[in-house]
A and B are shown apart, each in its own frame.
Chain A
Amino acid sequence: MILHERFDAEEVLQTIEREKVTYIGAVPTMCERMLHALEAKNYDTRSLRCLAITGGKVHPSVLEDLKRKITPNIYRTYASTDSRPDGDLEAR
């Protein structure tokens, strides 16, 4: 388990590539920042087996971009205050 004291999208992407990270958990804002960082530079994120997203809703277009540019292996979880009728735990 690799610990970063704060979230920095570029640093996280570099680490995923360098350490062949397989699991990452993030909130939607972090996901959007990683997508933004990927516009400037490409990183190899194919090692990821699981991108777990929680803490808020993910816009469908962001979800599509994440699947295409970071990993298709996305798990979304909704806690009680985030829950909506279509809140789900999505299989990869």
Chain B
Amino acid sequence: MNQLAHGLLALGVRKGDGVALSVGNRIEHLEIIFATAKIGALAIPLDVKWKALELASVVSAFEPRFIILQEDCAGEFARAKELKDLGFLKPLSLSSDRTYGGLLTGQSSDEPDVDVSEDDPFAVMLTSGTTGFPKGCLTTQRTFVFHCINNAIEKGLGAHDIAISFIADLLSTPGGRLRSESFTLAAR
């Protein structure tokens, strides 16, 4: 995660920059979320099932500076660029070798030296529940931490838990993340 954070810094991502991600429920999704958090960038997770028009509309509404795309989202993104001017966006493709197209090469695994405080923005979560219109909710680093604490206390989640997830949801990560030194992700 630290290597990825340094790789993003080397790419030009700065504190406060939006980083959209069209990355499904896979290990990289969480790596990216935590790496952007470490450098104070704003993660904007998008739905990998979106078609070009949805992708173009949402991306042009939030104007992130970067977008990270998994392999099968590249086609819709190319079509999205025909629909709207997305020239402000720098795309980065996930590579199958899990090195983010060489982004990690030579990067330090030390904590990145970026001053991030609890009131800094953490992510824009596009949420609609099942009954409402989609809306972008801006969450701060503190909001997320307290969300974790709530879950850890209320549900008793911790390092002893084995969670299964099919929606890359930050919601099921909290207990383990907070209460254990290590955190294992696996696709099984």
Could you list which residues of chain A lie within 8 angstroms of chain B, going by C-beta atoms?
1-7, 12, 15-16, 18-25, 27, 47, 49-50, 52, 55-56, 75, 79-82, 89
A-B contact pairs, 22 of them (CB 8 A): A1-B163, A1-B183, A1-B184, A1-B185, A2-B164, A2-B165, A2-B186, A2-B187, A3-B185, A5-B26, A15-B188, A19-B188, A21-B164, A23-B155, A25-B167, A27-B130, A52-B172, A55-B129, A56-B131, A75-B154, A81-B128, A82-B130
Let me know if A23 and B161 touch, CB within 8 A: yes
- Across-interface contacts of A24 in B (CB, < 8 A): 163-164, 172
Chain A neighbourhood of B162, CB < 8 A: 1-2, 19-23, 47
Report B160-181 CB contacts with A as 1/0, cut-off 8 Å.
Answer: 1111111111011101100000
CB <8 Å contact, B161 and A82: no
Docked complex: B56-90 residues within 8 A CB-CB of A: none
Q: Which residues of A contact B27 (CB under 8 A)?
A: 3
B163–A22 CB distance below 8 A: yes
Q: What's the nearest-Cβ distance from chain A to residue B71, in Å?
A: 12
Q: Which residues of A contact B108 (CB under 8 A)?
A: none
Cα distance, A45 to B184, chains bound together (Å): 21
Residues of A within 8 A of B167 (CB): 7, 25
Q: Report B177 CB to chain A, min CB distance, Å.
A: 9
Interface residues of B in 20-40 (CB under 8 A from A): 24-27
**Who on chain A is nearest to B29 by CB?**
A3
Determine the distance from Cα of A74 to Cα of B136 in the docked complex, in whole angstroms: 29
Is B106 positioned at the interface, with any CB of A under 8 Å from its CB?
Answer: no
> Closest residue to A12 on the B side, CB-wise?
B164
Give the Cβ gap from A25 to chain B, nearest Cβ, in Å: 5
Nearest Cβ in chain A — how far from B32, in angstroms?
A: 14
Cβ of B155: which chain A residues have Cβ within 8 Å of it?
23, 50, 52, 75
Cβ of B102 within 8 Å of any chain A Cβ, yes or no, is no
With a cutoff of 8 Å between Cβ atoms, the chain B residues found around residue A4 in the complex are 25, 164-166, 187
Inter-subunit contact A81/B129 (CB<8 Å)? yes
Q: What 10 additional pairs, Cβ within 8 angstroms, besides A1-B186, A2-B164, A6-B25?
A: A1-B183, A5-B26, A5-B166, A15-B188, A20-B162, A25-B171, A25-B172, A56-B129, A75-B154, A81-B128
